[in-house]
Amino acid sequence: MPTVLNTPSDEKTGTVTSKPVIVIEHLYKQFGRNVVLEDFSLTVYKEENVVVLGKSGAGKSVLIKCVIGLLKPDKGNIMVLGENVTALNDDDLDRVRSKVGFLFQANALYDSMTVRENLEFPLRRHWINISQKEVEKMVKEALENVALLHTLDMMPSELSGGMLKRIALARTLILKPEIILYDEPTTGLDPVTAREIDQLILKLQKKYHTSSIIISHDMNCVKNIADRVILLLDGKCYADGSYDELEHSTDQKIKQFFE
């Protein structure tokens, strides 16, 4: 029954040389008796934005947490930039993580630190020898990207939900990662800001040649940024294709998402 509509995006974009940056093979993950991922496979190619659709509780967040090594899958392999994250030691995992940005669904900003300290944290942690001047410059640049420079010395508790999301986004992007995993980047934002975030994601993709997995329920966002859309259903990759292909699918389960 699974309707795999399309495979690599190469065919679509015509760039045959595109190389895979994330390869997920036969992934299984369960919590107790709750089977979340069951034989899930997905390949993300360089400079590609892959959107993951799925119902609430389908396991989308679990999936990207496995990719960054926050959760250990029960079975299966995950190659990120050519390294198997399921089998790396802590130091090697940190090295891979410094090239991967992760935007948490609920922001996960450190509420005991100012915005500045929040942004400095990943910089100082991953790049131990970075100079103070460099840090300042990068923090300012990251905040300018999300138009929130004036919040530099504020505490997260003083900011609105949408501002927090943008700060979290700035923190995710500050290391100029090669791969970015976005967990619902536009949820809870007004339409104007949401479109700005879309544009930012696209701009980064162009400028730094990043590849992304984006979890989203916001169909405008999906339409704007997706090179490829997959549907996560019953722990598997149920459908895989371009936005248009999925939008015009006759499969009832796919249609639901585009209504």
Partner 1 sequence: MSLITNTEDFLEQTGKISRFAGHFFSHGIKPRFEIKELLSQCYLIGYKSFPLVGLTGFIMGLVLTMQLRPSLVSYGVQSELPVMVGIAIVREIGPVITALIFAGKIGSSIGAELGSMKVTEQIDAMEVSGTNPYKYLVATRVVATTLMLPILTLLGDAISLFGAYIGVNISSVTSLRFFFTQVFQSLTYSDIVPAVIKTLFFGFAVGIIGCYKGFNSTKGTQGVGISANSAVVLSSVLIFIIDLLTVQLTNLIGLN
List residues binding ligand ATP (CB under 6 A): 31, 34, 36, 54, 56-62, 105
Q: Which does 36 bind (CB under 5 to 8 A by kind): ligand ATP, partner 1, Mg ion, none?
A: ligand ATP
Closest to ligand ATP by CB, 30 vs 77, is: 30
CA distance 259 to 72: 35
CA dist list (Å): 169 to 55, 109, 124, 134: 23, 10, 18, 20
Query: 78 and 85 in contact (C-beta within 8 Å)?
Result: yes
Closest to Mg ion by CB, 40 vs 45, is: 40
Strand ranges across the sheet with 75-80: 34-45, 20-31, 75-80, 83-84
Nearest residue to Mg ion on Cβ basis: 61
**Comparing C-alpha atoms, which of 250, 241, 251 is closest to residue 53?**
241
**6-65: which residues touch Mg ion (CB under 5 A)?**
61
Binding mask 54-93 for Mg ion (x = CB under 5 A): -------x--------------------------------
**Comparing C-alpha atoms, which of 61, 42, 47 is closest to residue 227?**
47
CA distance 116 to 101: 18
Beta bridge partners of 50: 213, 228
Task: Return the range that interacts with Mg ion (CB under 5 A); candidates 1-9, 30-38, 97-105, 193-201.
Answer: 97-105
Q: Which does 66 bind (CB under 5 to 8 A by kind): partner 1, Mg ion, ligand ATP, none?
A: none
DSSP state of 149: G
Strand-pair category, 100-103 with 179-183: parallel
Query: Closest distance between partner 1 and the C-beta of residue 154, in Å?
Result: 17
Strand-pair category, 83-84 with 75-80: antiparallel
Closest to partner 1 by CB, 97 vs 228, is: 97
- Which residues form the interface with partner 1 (CB under 8 A)? 65, 68, 70, 90, 94, 97-98, 100, 102, 104-106, 108-112, 121-122, 125-126
Q: Which does 259 bind (CB under 5 to 8 A by kind): ligand ATP, Mg ion, partner 1, none?
A: none
Query: 51 and 230 in contact (C-beta within 8 Å)?
Result: yes
Q: Which does 5 bind (CB under 5 to 8 A by kind): ligand ATP, partner 1, Mg ion, none?
A: none
Closest to ligand ATP by CB, 199 vs 220, is: 220
The single residue listed with the structure tokens 């910089």 is 123
Q: Which does 228 bind (CB under 5 to 8 A by kind): Mg ion, partner 1, ligand ATP, none?
A: none
For binding to Mg ion (CB under 5 A), which residues are involved?
Answer: 61, 105
